[in-house]
Amino acid sequence: MDTLPAQARDTIDLVKAGGPFPYPRNDGVTFGNYEGHLPKAKRGYYREYTVKTPKASNRGARRIITGGTPVTDPPRWYYTGDHYDHFCAITGLG
């Protein structure tokens, strides 16, 4: 958790609070895991949230992906800084 950018920690706090999210049409939606980089799960298991990128004029490439329920305290958390090419598990949130 200490190695995450501050904006990722902000996004984690928003997820735990249930929002509000900076991109409400995009945040909290189903993440399909089409690349297959995360463990296989039923459709709807994963959700994605934008991690703000300083000075970006759009959503940028950084995301938090959660897995499972409840939505505000899911058992699985992942971070990607390169738009789904690589993921790292986030631990120590309990």
**What does the DSSP assignment read for 53-89?**
-TT-SS--S-EEEEESSSTTS-SEEEEESSTTS--EE
Respond yes or no: is residue 48 known to be catalytic: yes
The closest of 23, 8, 75 to 45, measured between CA atoms, is 75
Give yes or no: 86 in active site. Answer: no
Tokens representing 48 are 């994605």
Closest CA to 27 of 16, 15, 36, 38: 15
Q: Which residues are catalytic?
A: 48, 83
